[in-house]
């Protein structure tokens, strides 16, 4: 029963169903396809609220390293050990709630260090 907490900037997108994926660092027990996900905003605070429940449809290893959209400066996104094209990186960034690829890289790799984790996707809300 994995619970995922979202920052305030992403909560409305999750609640509306516009954001149906998240990228997270590896957990001790990685999330698996078929698990029920419990989606929250502000967990461990007085303002905690449930955004919904859904089933995990994909759980894909991902590595992110870089600090710029310009591939010459070291931007790298690996998915299943394959380097992604720029348009694919943009699709992931937008689906994850970022307006630009630059924001995406600043969030996950602010100093150019490598981020490793899972890209987790979910389906329709479960009532």
Looking only at the bridges linking them, the beta strands covering 36-41 and 49-65 are: antiparallel
Number of domains making up the chain? 1
CA angle in degrees (0–180, nearest 5) for 83-73-87? 45
pLDDT of 67 reads 56
Low-confidence residues of the chain, pLDDT below 70?
67-81, 127
Give the per-residue pLDDT at 72: 46
pLDDT of amino acid 80: 63
Instruction: Give, as one character, the DSSP assignment of residue 81.
Output: T
Determine the pLDDT at residue 73: 46
What CATH number is attached to the domain comprising 87? 2.30.130
Q: Are 63 and 114 in contact (CB under 8 A)?
A: yes
Q: How confident is the model at residue 82, as a pLDDT?
A: 72
pLDDT of residue 49: 95
- Report yes or no on 127 lying in a domain: no
In three-state form (DSSP H/G/I as H, E/B as E, the rest C), the secondary structure along 82-98 is EECCHHHHHHHHHHCCC
- For residue 19, being part of any structural domain is answered with yes
The domain in which residue 103 lies consists of: 3-122
- Residues 81-92: pLDDT tens digits? 677 778 888 899
Q: Mind listing the pLDDT tens digit for each residue in 23-47?
A: 999 999 999 999 999 999 999 889 8
């Amino acid at each position: 029963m994995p619970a995922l907490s979202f920052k305030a900037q992403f909560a409305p997108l999750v609640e509306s169903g516009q954001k149906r994926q998240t990228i997270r660092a590896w957990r001790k027990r990685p999330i698996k396809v078929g698990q029920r996900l419990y989606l929250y905003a502000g967990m461990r605070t007085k303002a905690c609220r449930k955004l919904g429940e859904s089933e995990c449809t994909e759980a894909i290893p991902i590595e992110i390293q870089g600090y710029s959209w310009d591939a010459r400066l070291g931007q790298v996104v690996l998915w299943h050990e394959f380097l992604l094209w720029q348009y694919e990186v943009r699709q992931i960034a937008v689906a994850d709630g970022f307006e630009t690829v630059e924001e995406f890289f600043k969030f996950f790799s602010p100093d150019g260090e490598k981020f490793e984790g899972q890209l987790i996707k979910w389906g329709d809300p479960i009532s």
